[in-house]
Structure 1
């Protein structure tokens, strides 16, 4: 499974379809990345869609996965740059992931998993558009202490094949300033690194799991060793962290300092294994590649 969270809400169906004609322009494919540009009307529609009530729509849902046993609610302030990402997949399926603000020339860029903004194909092989994309840094039980930032564009590497793929499952999101202030200035950032690492890394992971314990409303964390595994198709980092859906895109940090809340991102949550009871047994994140490095280096131009 992928670890974003989505629940079909029939009441939202017509509204999502009505907005689709103005929300997102067709993705443009460059030599090394696929970019989706959000119109001004689409950004306004996203802000109107994600009311505080809608953000909390999964709280108390009895069908949510069981509470985590390894992952724990983060007791301190939300670390700099970390927040909850909201979106709608046509036609009318609201969902959420996790994302993190990273350093950029524009001070407007967040980093997440590719499948959080790449909807893949439906059963008729038609592209599923992702609309109503907003990022809420520091999100905590409905509170948006730094504001709600609509996406003006988002991109993934052209080497990413979509939600069925675990390779290069990364994306960057360019956010509109709010009140004239850039997201990096108000929420802070986490460093990101593309250097080669040893096969085992002490890792602090964060995410907003939409489980019975969290309902997506609270930040959870795991502190676990991550091991690198490679095969003929992909290279991944793997842990036994059990954060539920909604944790996709959450940062995997090395050299994390609990006092400052800062570390260095070397992967983000991509995929997980889930039992028939909905319990997550492990998580994996794609190892960064040269195409993802180039994606990051150009993110400030979005």
Structure 2
């Protein structure tokens, strides 16, 4: 292990760690709505107060954030098989990223990445990762589907009243805590926990009248670009040997395993939902080309050796983005 001023090489050529030092619109009451594209928006109630009378900011104290359990679908041991589905073909598409316009001229991987905290459908406190994405509405955070809904029979939406995104997290944030307005994911994830559709978009409430992309910037997004591309994947791993306090990344060239982009990486649970970025480093933003979804480990959960993302086709990410881009 070699130590640098701000960068720690955890596994040479595989994982490099980046230490990150560090009124609102109210959703209208409603239930679930499913459109023809196979998208579901859910749990759209008041995003200001919870059943216990605490705002999301009051609920998510630094101590509670530190104790949140990482969320994720089952880890997969070496040699195991999991249900896989090849993506359906569709058109290519991409949207450019954006600089912040209001709060700060700074925009980089730190400001546009963050930790997600939420209360799941069983009442437990959990964490994931996510990233802001530019859109007409300037209010989007993309993450994994299993960070907004349990997936499959008997599971439900997570509590939108306590779903928050903390950009540039390091035991807190210079940009504060941002509250969710609506949670969106694909119906195939909700109904069957089909991990080919394990992607979600969350529409965030403005904070002090400012939209989140205007405050911290937003990544671009693209879909339909295939496999074999160089990507950087980012996240806030929180299971040992990590502790959730810093932003880490892996980089490499993806390969196709059963229709899923795959990359070698040792990040552990808590990184779920973090961005896979194509063309990272070319400018201040890159293209979201996947999200951390499924990890494989051997011989125990502290020894993760690769991750997979849903394939970003129009069937998955493109239709989801189109459904929420102007909110």
Q: TM-score range by the shorter chain?
A: 0.7 to 0.9
Cα deviation, residue 45, structure 1: 3.5
Q: Find the aligned partners of 1:129 and 1:276 in 2 and give their Cα distance.
A: 32
User: Is residue 172 of structure 1 aligned with residue 201 of structure 2?
Assistant: yes
Instruction: Find the aligned partners of 2:61 and 2:127 in 1 and give their Cα distance.
Output: 14
On the 8 A contact 1:79/1:261 being kept in 2, the answer is: no
| Range with greater deviation from structure 2 (98-107 or 157-166) | 157-166
How far residue 289 of structure 1 moved from its aligned partner, in angstroms, is: 2.1
- 1:129 maps to 157
Residue 48 of structure 1 aligns to a residue whose secondary structure is helix
Cα deviation, residue 42, structure 1:
4.2
CA separation in 2, counterparts of 1:272 and 1:129?
22
Number of the residue aligned with 1:148: 177
Matched, 1:298 2:304: no
Matching residue within 192, 212, 215 for 2:221: 192
- Deviation per residue, 1:101-136 (Å, 9 max, x gap): 111111111111111101125xxx433331111011
1:218-257 CA distance string (max 9 Å, x none)? 1111112211233xxxx21001112101111111111111
- TM-aligned CA deviation for residue 155 of structure 1: 0.7
1:98 has 2:121 as partner? no
Q: Distance in 1 between matches of 2:276 and 2:186?
A: 20
Cα pair 1:28 1:34 within 8 Å, conserved: yes
Task: Pick from 150, 171, 187 the counterpart of residue 119 of structure 1.
Answer: 150
Q: Partner of 2:64 in structure 1? A: 54
Q: Which digits, 9 at most, give the CA deviation of each residue in 1:4-34, with x for residues without a partner?
A: xxxxxxxxxxxxxxxxxxx985332222211
Q: Is the 8 A contact 2:47 2:180 kept in 1?
A: no
For residue 296 of structure 2, the aligned residue among 273, 284, 288 is: 273
Superposed CA RMSD: 2.6
How many Å apart are 1:50 and its aligned residue? 0.8
CA change 1:229–1:217 in 2 (3 A) is same
Question: Structure 1 CA distance, aligned partners of 2:209 and 2:246?
Answer: 28
Aligned: 1:82 with 2:88: no
Q: TM-score, normalised by structure 2?
A: 0.71
Cα contact 1:80–1:262 (8 A) shared by 2: no
Instruction: Name the counterpart of 2:272.
Output: 248
How far residue 154 of structure 1 moved from its aligned partner, in angstroms, is: 1.1
Which residue in 2 is equivalent to 1:108? 139
| TM-score, scaled relative to structure 1 | 0.77
Match of 2:45 in 1: 38
- Structure 1 window deviating more from structure 2 (35-44 vs 102-111): it is 35-44
How many equivalent pairs are there? 255
Equivalent residue, structure 1, for 2:34: 29
Which stretches in structure 1 are left out of the alignment for 5+ residues?
1-22, 60-64, 66-76
